[in-house]
Structure 1
Amino acid sequence: MSVAWLSTEDNDRESKRYKKGASPVMGFSDEDKIGTIQPHNDALVVTLRIGGFDVKKVLVDQGSAMEVMYLDLYKGLNLKPEDLTAYDSPLVSFKGKTVTPRGQIRLPIQTGSDVVEVDFIVVDAYSPYTAIVARPWLHALATVSSTLHQKLKYPSEGQVEEIVGNQAMARQCMVAAISRQSNAESSASIKKDL
């Protein structure tokens, strides 16, 4: 854990406040960049324990208001259609494409000793990611995230815990998305020429 204190007086005040049950201070410093490839523009992609399984390629998206699970992961977790509850509101992608969710399911996400129940919207659409975690999970865990530092930090039992992103996985996901888009554009061009 790296916490920078302004002075020993501030440190003493913070220690007293912490002993009274306040949460530890969470932040990022240059030390948190050690082990990352810099500079970068990588998304924050992590592995999380969802529904009792370690799930790779989970995108952390602070800009999203809901957690999303893609159908391949849903099936991979051995969940059945009858496990879903109704979710009638369509989702709209950045490209303006409307996706009708298959439904919703509540599953636990475990990080260390902390468990947060999350409502995932299950969709049958292509994504290089298996799932997206968003503000509801981030807020429930009191998480602070940094794409620059490729980390999530959250308070747990009086300490600051970390989840480290995987830049190689983030880059694989980006390449897969670009490759799929290029293939789709090539197919559309060929059909147009016929």
Structure 2
Amino acid sequence: MVTLRIGGYDVKRGLVDQGSGAEIMYPDLYKGLKLKLEDLVSYESPLVGFDAKVVVSMGQIRLPVQVGSEVVEVDFIIVDAYSPYTAIVVRPWLHAMGAVSSTLHLNVKYPSGDKVKEVVRSQSMAPNWMESSASAGEGL
């Protein structure tokens, strides 16, 4: 889990998933950002969740995701389903950042100017994840 700056807010419990193709936002974050149904555009394609069930989206919204000084616009699909995560960023975000994700090292490296910067797993979030996954969604 990582902390990402989404729509101008620091968002905890973000997941970088190099195996998925759709950026997802869950209800806790949707409500925490004070988004409204009229902020969303229609998204008609069904999605298959981690549990292999079809999930219907509430809609889609484009928001900036910032890591360090790098900002990428991301099209999040809003799904009304439980998740221990608040948002999932995936291959399109990794590609736009020019980033490489390592599950072995639990980090994401990306170019920034003439340096290579790194997003590391939120150490403080690991114990909290176990608590928050038991009770559906606390805060952002």
Please give the TM-score of this superposition, normalised by the length of structure 2.
Answer: 0.89
Q: Which runs of 5+ in 2 are unaligned?
A: 136-140
Residue 127 of structure 1 is matched in structure 2 by: 83
Aligned partners of 1:72 and 1:176: how far apart in 2? 12
Match of 1:3 in 2: none
Query: Which stretch of the first structure deviates more once superposed, 140-149 or 122-131?
Result: 140-149
Q: CA deviation at 1:148?
A: 2.2
Aligned with residue 159 of structure 1, among 103, 109, 115: 115
Secondary structure at the counterpart of residue 57 of structure 2 = coil
Larger-Rg structure = 1
CA contact (8 A) 1:150 1:166 kept: no
Question: Which residue of the partner structure matches residue 101 of structure 2?
Answer: 145
CA distance in 1, matches of 2:25, 2:41: 14
Show the counterpart of 1:85: 41
Partner of 1:173: 129
Match of 2:70 among 106, 114, 118: 114
SS at match of 1:119: strand
Distance (Å, rounded) in 1 between the aligned partners of 2:50 and 2:64:
28
Once residues 34 and 115 of structure 2 are traced to their aligned partners in structure 1, the CA distance between those partners, rounded to angstroms, is: 35
The count of residues paired between Structure 1 and Structure 2 equals 135
CA distance in 1, matches of 2:30, 2:68: 23
Check if 1:56 corresponds to 2:12.
yes
Matched-pair contact (CA < 8 Å) for 1:59–1:132: yes
Aligned to 2:52: 96
| SS state at 2:82 partner | coil
Contact 1:67-1:133 at 8 Å conserved across structures: yes
**1:90 Cα deviation after fit:** 1.3
Alignment of 1:18-97 (within 5 A): 45-97=1-53
Q: Please give the TM-score of this superposition, normalised by the length of structure 1.
A: 0.65
Identity in percent = 65
TM-align CA RMSD? 1.6
* Cα distance change of structure 1 residues 75 and 175 upon mapping to structure 2, 3 Å threshold: closer
Contact 1:69-1:122 within 8 A present in 2 as well: yes
